[in-house]
Amino acid sequence: MLERAQLDDLLGRLEGTCLGAHLVLVGSAAMYLSPTSIPPMTGDADVAVAVGTLANHLSGFLDDLKHQGFEQIEDTATFAHASGPTFDLLALDEIGRGDHVVRLGGMGLLAFEDLSRLVARPRMVREVGGVRVLAPSALVLSKLRTWRVAKGMRDKVQALAMIGDMAGDEAFLAELRMLVEELSQEDWEDVFADAQVAFTGLETDEARDYAAFAELIGRGFSILQSLRESP
């Protein structure tokens, strides 16, 4: 599992690259830089960057990564370091193309529509300790909209636990309400149905690690339900 000290080491190394100021920490590791006590329990970090920015600086960025001690895992956008930190590089692309793969310099970078849309919104990227990171409300919504079966279950449980843990943060709840209310009715029904499955599936292999947070997860599910009333 990726520990906070390892994440700090990774982020420090990335800061020393030519794209350090353009990278956004997303995914479960971003929970370490969010005001929540819920542990991410993740093995690596996800870092996102705009496709155009990466294309313009790809060669220099790869050289900088090598200088910082990272090695690219062949035919992937995953980079590993001898000290332990590993990160996946994700693409932020133009909105409207759906989820797709961007090919640059022999890499296939995943570009998620929802993530690109969230990062493009005002105030959905914050600076925490000099690191650009997805805002808690955007992080929660991105997790609630993860469709991959096994990882999706884990992400949704994490999201519900975060909502329950941050229930006293009115600004967070207001932002989350805004994001949820902007979903189409069909998307909301999918999000809510999947959250309900996650809430009732804490004994599954994908979610069992968070069983100790069952009370917060239940609170988070109740809050999510209240954020948007059915028409």
**Secondary structure class of 146 (helix, strand, coil):** coil
Mean pLDDT over 11-36 rounds to 96
Residue 184 amino acid letter: S
Mean pLDDT over 53-66 rounds to 96
CATH number for the domain running over 4-134: 3.30.460
Chain Cα centroid distance, residue 221: 19
Task: Copy the structure tokens of residue 152.
Answer: 């999706």
Mean pLDDT over 199-205 rounds to 74
Task: Copy the structure tokens of residue 102.
Answer: 């961007």
| Reported pTM | 0.93
- pLDDT for 108 equals 93
166-178 tens-digit pLDDT: 999 999 999 999 9
Q: In whole angstroms, what is the distance from residue 215 CA to residue 220 CA?
A: 9
Q: In whole angstroms, what is the distance from residue 68 CA to residue 61 CA?
A: 10
Mean pLDDT over 133-138 rounds to 98
**Secondary structure class of 20 (helix, strand, coil):** helix
Report the half-sphere exposure of 37 (CA within 13 A, side-chain side).
8
What is the residue extent of each domain of the chain? 4-134, 139-227
For residue 7, give every residue at least 6 positions away whose Cβ sits within 8 Å of its Cβ, in sequence order, or none.
29, 32, 45, 85
- pLDDT for 205 equals 65
81-93 tens-digit pLDDT: 988 889 999 999 9
Q: How many residues does the chain have?
A: 231
- pLDDT for 85 equals 84
- pLDDT for 156 equals 92
- The CA radius of gyration of the chain, in Å to the nearest whole number, is 17
Tell whether the model's pLDDT for residue 208 goes beyond 70: yes
96-127 tens-digit pLDDT: 999 999 999 889 999 999 999 999 999 999 99
The mean predicted confidence, pLDDT, of the chain is: 92
User: How many Å from the N-terminal Cα to the C-terminal Cα in the chain?
Assistant: 42
Mean pLDDT over 37-49 rounds to 95
Where does residue 1 rank: exposed (0-12), middle (13-18), buried (19+ CB within 10 A)?
exposed
Q: Do 13 and 68 touch, CB atoms closer than 8 A?
A: yes
Asked which of 16-30, 60-74, 137-151 is least confident by mean pLDDT, the reply is 137-151
Cβ atoms within 10 Å, residue 214: 14
- Higher local confidence (pLDDT), 75 or 160: 160
Beta pairing class for 45-50 and 86-92: parallel
